[in-house]
Amino acid sequence: MRRVVVTGIGVIAPGGVGREEFWNRIVDGKPAVRRITAFDPSPFRSQIAAEVDFDPAAHGLTPREVRRMDRFTQLAVACADEALADSGLDLGAADPERAGVSLGSAVGATITLEEEYVVASDRGRDWAVDHRHLKPFLYQALVPSSAAAELAVRFGVNGPAAVVSTGCTSGIDAIGRAYRLIQDGEADMMIAGASDAPISPITVACFDAIRATSPSNDEPETASRPFDAGRKGFVLGEGAAVLVVEELEHARRRGARVYCEVTGYAARANGFHMTGLRPDGFELGEAIGRALEEAALNPQDIGYISAHGSGTKQNDRHETAAYKRSLGDHAHRVPISSIKSVIGHSLGAIGSIEMAACAMVLQRGVVPPTANLTVPDPDCDLDYTPLVAREVTAGHALSAGSGFGGFQSAMIFSALGADR
C-alpha cells in the first residue's frame, strides 16, 4: 500500500492569519470571536462570529483576482500559497500530471451569491432578477468547483481536481479524497484542504432560524464554549487550511520535511436526521473504529483528539458518547480539545483546519486547550483540556467531524516514527 504524508501546511483562521499565528492563537486559547463587522448584525438573533482579518492584497492577490474570486476562494488560494511554500516543493521539478487538487467547502461562494442577488432583485423585490446588474464570473460563484480550478491553474497541476462538499465534514473528507487518490496511484501529490467564508446575512439568518448559533451577543469572547454547561450553541466562523499531501517515497526523494502520515480515514452517515444527532454517538463511533482499524492502531495509541466540539448540547453529548463507545476506557485518559472554542465553526473549512492542528500537535508536542470550559457539562465527563495548553508527546492524533446531512468523519494522523 502506498503511504501518504503531510509535507506542507497553510492556515488562515480567525485571530491567526498564517500557520504560526494560528498555532499561537489556539495554544494561547484566546477566543477570536467578536460582534460581526462584515455587515450590520443588529437584526439577527446571533450577532457574533469568528471573523478573519484578511487582506487579499497582502497575500499577493491582484485586484483582478480579488474581483473574480469569492472570499472563500481567496482564503483557499492564500492558504495554498503558504502550504506550498512550507512544503519546499519545487512545482517546476514535479510532474504536474501527477498532482491534483481536493478542496472542501460546505457553502462555497455564498457571500457573492447573496450580494449579487440583492442587487439584481432590487433588495429581494423581484423574483425575475435583472441580469444586467450582475457582475461577471457569477457562474463561478454558483458552482464552487471554480475554487478547485483556481488552485489547479495557479499551481499548474493537471491531475484530478474537484471540490468536496459534504457540509461540515468537507474538510476531513477533502483530505480523505486526496489520501485515497494517492493510495490508489491516481496522483503522487495533492493540494488538499478546505475553505469557507459563510459570514453573510443569509447564513446568519438560517442558523438563527434553527437556534443553532449562540445568542451571547454581549460576551462574544466567551460565547464559544464547547463541553461547558453554560454553552448556548456554536459560533459561526470562517477560514481555510490547505495541506500538501504526498506519497511517502515522493516526499523522501526530494528530501521533504514530513509533518506526519495520514494513517486512517473513515466516513459514516447516521441516516437519522439532517441536523439532529442521536445521543448514542453510534455512527461517529463506527467511523472512529474503522479509522483505527485502517491505521492498525488500538484506542490507547491515540495521544490526542481534536474534537468536533461545536458547542451545541446535542453535539457535545453525541460526541462524548462516540469516544466512549469507540475508545473504551482510553476515552477518559486521552487529552481532547475543541479549537472551535477559539476560532469558531467555519463549517466545511474547520475539518481541514483541525487536521492542520493535529499535524502541528504531533510535531510540537503541545495540545491546544478548549477555551471557556470553566464548568464542564456533567454529561461531557472526558478530559477536554480546559483553558490551558498542555505538553503531550502524542504519536497519533485523531480528529472527528460531524455535519448536516448526518455525515460523520474521522481521520488519524501519525508521527512518522510512531509505533503502530
Partner 1 sequence: MSDRRAVITGIGVVAPTGIGVVEHWAGSLSGRGRIGPVTSFDATGAPIRLAGEVTGFDEHEFVDSKLLVQTDRWTWFALAATRLALADAALDPAREDPFDLSVVTAGASGGNAFGQREIQALWSKGPRAVSAYQSIGWFYAASSGQLSIKHQLKGACGVLVADAAGAIDALAEASRLVRRGTEVVVTGGTEAPLSPYALACQAAEATVSRETDPDRAYRPFAPDAGGYVPGEGGAILIVEDRHSALGRCAPTVYAEIAGTASTHDAHHVTDPAPGHRQYARAMREAIARAGLGPDDIGVVFADGAGDPVRDAQEVAALREVFGGRPVPVTVPKTMTGRLCSGGAALDLAWAALSLTGGVIPPTVNTVAPRGMDLVTEPRAVAGLSAALVVARGSGGFNSAAVLTAV
Neighbours of 392 (CB within 10 A): 16
Pick the catalytic residue from 59, 250, 345, 396: 345
> What's the CA dihedral at 146, 149, 153, 159 to 10 degrees?
180
Instruction: Give the separation between CA 172 and CA 355, rounded to whole angstroms.
Output: 7
# chain residues binding partner 1, by CB under 8 A:
89
Report, in Å, the least distance between residue 100 CB and partner 1: 7
Contact 251, 7 (CB under 8 A): yes
Q: What angle do CA 243, 248, 251 make, to 5 degrees?
A: 70
Does 153 interact with partner 1 (rule: CB under 8 A)? yes
Answer yes or no: 131 catalytic: no
**Calculated CA dihedral for residues 372, 378, 382, 383, nearest 10 degrees:** 40
Residue 280 sits in the site that holds partner 1 (CB under 8 A): no
Part of the chain binding partner 1 (CB under 8 A), chosen from 82-90, 125-133, 296-304, 374-382: 125-133
Query: From the candidates 59, 250, 308, 396, which is the catalytic residue?
Result: 308
Closer residue to partner 1, CB minimum distance, 19 or 308: 308
Given phi > 0 = left and psi -120 to 50 = alpha, else beta, which region is 88?
A: left
The reply to whether 38 sits near partner 1 by the rule CB under 8 A is no
Are residues 110 and 71 in contact, defined by beta-carbon separation less than 8 angstroms? no
- φ, ψ of residue 360 to 5 degrees: the values are -75, -30
Active site residue 380: no
Does residue 340 touch partner 1 according to CB under 8 A? no
Binding span for partner 1 by CB under 8 A among 53-61, 111-119, 219-227, 327-335:
111-119
Question: Rounded to the nearest 5 degrees, what angle is found at the Cα of 20, between the Cα atoms of 250 and 73?
Answer: 70
Q: What is the CA radius of gyration of the chain?
A: 20
Q: Is residue 286 at the binding interface for partner 1, with CB under 8 A as the rule? A: yes
Of 96, 215, 365, 376, which one interacts with partner 1 (CB under 8 A)? 96
Task: Provide the minimum distance between the beta carbon of 369 and partner 1 in the complex, in angstroms, as a whole number.
Answer: 29
**Per CB under 8 A, 44 contacts partner 1:** yes
Considering the rule CB under 8 A, would residue 143 count as an interface residue with partner 1? yes
Q: How far is the CB of 151 from partner 1 (least distance, A)?
A: 9
- State yes or no: residue 35 binds partner 1 (CB under 8 A): no
CB of 392 to partner 1, least distance (A): 30
DSSP codes joined into one string, 199-226? -SHHHHHHHHHTT-B---TT-GGGT--T
Q: Does 267 bind partner 1 (CB under 8 A)?
A: yes
Site for partner 1 in 65-94 (CB under 8 A): 68
**With 0-12 CB in 10 A as exposed, 13-18 as middle and 19+ as buried, what is 145?**
middle
Q: Which 202-231 positions form the footprint of partner 1 (CB under 8 A)?
A: 202, 204-210, 212
Give every CB contact of residue 270 below 8 A, 6+ residues apart in sequence.
Answer: 277, 278, 282, 283, 284, 406, 407, 408
Which one of 32, 50, 164, 380 is in contact with partner 1 (CB under 8 A)? 164
* CA 75/CA 71 separation, integer angstroms: 6
Question: Mask 386-405, x = binds partner 1 (CB under 8 A)?
Answer: -----------------xxx
For 399, what's the count of Cα atoms within 13 Å in the CB-facing half-sphere?
A: 30
Using the rule CB under 8 A, which residue among 81, 82, 86, 173 binds partner 1? 173
Using CB under 8 A, pick the residue from 10, 159, 171, 239 that binds partner 1. Answer: 159
Closest distance of CB 114 from partner 1, Å:
6
Q: Looking only at Cα atoms, what is the longest distance across the chain?
A: 63
Rule CB under 8 A: is residue 129 a binding residue for partner 1?
yes
Amino acid (one-letter) located at 411: M
Stretch that binds partner 1, among 49-57, 74-82, 99-107, 338-346 (CB under 8 A): 99-107
Among 88, 156, 279, 328, binds partner 1 (CB under 8 A): 156
Q: Does residue 201 interact with partner 1 by CB under 8 A? A: yes
Residue 396: CB minimum distance to partner 1, A: 21
Binder of partner 1 out of 63, 92, 136, 378 (CB under 8 A): 136
How far apart, in whole angstroms, are the C-alpha atoms of residue 94 and residue 92? 6
Considering only 271, 329, 378, 391, the residue that binds partner 1 (CB under 8 A) is 271
- Least distance (Å) between residue 368 CB and partner 1: 28
144 binds partner 1, rule: CB under 8 A:
yes
Secondary structure letter of residue 369 according to DSSP: P
Residue 64, SS3 per DSSP = helix
Q: Which is nearer to partner 1, 389 or 404 (CB)?
A: 404
DSSP string, 316-352: HHHHHHHHHHHHGGGGGTS-EE-THHHH-B-TTHHHH
Cell readout for 59 is 497575500
Residues written for the chain: 420
- The catalytic residue positions are 168, 308, 345
